[in-house]
Amino acid sequence: MKRSTRKLTKKIIYQILALLLIAFLFLPIYQMLITALRPADLPWKSPASLFPEKITLQNFKSAFDLVPRLPRYLLNSFIYGAGVSIVSLLVAIPAGYAIARFRFRGRKPIMIFVIYANMFAPIMLLVPIYVIMKKFGLVNTYLSVILAGSIFTIPLSTWLVTSYMQTIPKAIEEAALIDGCSEFSVIHRIIIPMISPAIVAVLIYAFITGWSQQFILALTLIKSDELMPITQGLYQFFSRSSVRWNEMMAAILMSTLIPVALFLVVQKYIVRGLVSGSIKE
């Protein structure tokens, strides 16, 4: 009897704490939702009402009037995301294969460098990257942000491929090698199909990062409105004196759905890759 009541109190306390945690994590998301759904002509109240008094979908339409280039920004973000994920894969698959499957001189330094590279942020290399891009005439092009952005996704991408590959037995590749397949046709015919879950994880991880986290790179490298990613595009409207919050939040909501949905699909692989990051043999 005493024991079961104690269990019940515990259950209730844990439930309340979990709800408080979710409340903290969803506070701005909730604010975004109720603002996006609130009629724009309804005057603001202070203090704000905690629940939407009236609901409309009009803001999702008028967001396109407020931000006329919204579809363009979304397309640009898609291009940045796709570009970064392609570059990351092209680098990460061969590198991950080499680190996971070969014992060669310089292997450990390469691994350590990959981990070290993961600690760099755009702000540290912004000026030289700008100068390099300027030299190659790439400032204000898609390519500049894609190339510069990939540097910050390549480390984790390589790590994800390596750690996934280490969980796959070598036997099949070895059999193929004995049968006279070359190393490169082994990659092409056997490795790539086998590690497809890791490839999907890298693809989506790099895509989301390219889509989302290129704010400072774009801020520096992209000047023309036509090439801006969604974050920079919306920031322009945000930094003006009077923000039309209803349409703004509707626009943010629409442009956040894709990365959030994709992320929920692959988070398991990303966590696995991050956790299995041991350099021990």
Q: Which of residues 52-81 bind another protein (CB under 8 A)?
A: none
**Do residues 131 and 195 make contact, with C-beta atoms less than 8 angstroms apart?**
no
Residue 22 near another protein by CB under 8 A: yes
221 binding another protein? (CB under 8 A)? no
Q: How far is the CB of 250 from another protein (least distance, A)?
A: 12
Report if residue 45 touches another protein, rule: CB under 8 A. Answer: yes
Asked if residue 131 binds another protein (CB under 8 A), the reply is yes
Closer CB to another protein, 65 or 116, in the complex: 116
Nearest-approach distance from CB 71 to another protein, in angstroms: 17
For another protein, the closer CB: 55 or 90: 90
Render the burial of 98-128: b for 16+ CB within 10 Å, e for the rest.
bbbbeeeeeeeeebeebeeebeeebeeebee
Cβ 98 vs Cβ 186: under 8 Å:
no
**Which of the residues 256 through 275 are near another protein (CB under 8 A)?**
256, 259-260, 262-264, 267, 271-272, 274-275
Nearer to another protein, 75 or 112 (CB): 112
- Verify binding: residue 172, another protein, rule CB under 8 A: no
- How far is it, in rounded angstroms, from Cα 207 to Cα 83? 8
With binding defined as CB under 8 A, does residue 200 bind another protein? no
Determine the Cα–Cα distance for residues 263 and 97; give it in Å rounded to an integer. 25
Based on the shown chain and the rule CB under 8 A, indicate whether residue 225 belongs to the binding site for another protein: no
Q: Is 96 exposed, middle or buried (0-12, 13-18, 19+ CB in 10 A)?
A: buried
| Piece of the chain touching another protein by CB under 8 A; list 52-60, 62-70, 192-200, 208-216 | 208-216
Of 76, 85, 162, 231, the residue at the interface with another protein (CB under 8 A) is: 231
Long-range pairs, 199-202, Cβ under 8 A, ≥24: 199/89, 199/93, 199/161, 200/266, 200/269, 201/160, 201/164, 201/266, 201/269, 201/270, 201/273, 202/85, 202/88, 202/89, 202/92, 202/157, 202/160, 202/161
Q: Which is nearer to another protein, 64 or 235 (CB)?
A: 235
Site string for another protein, 135-154 (x = CB under 8 A): ------------xx-xx--x
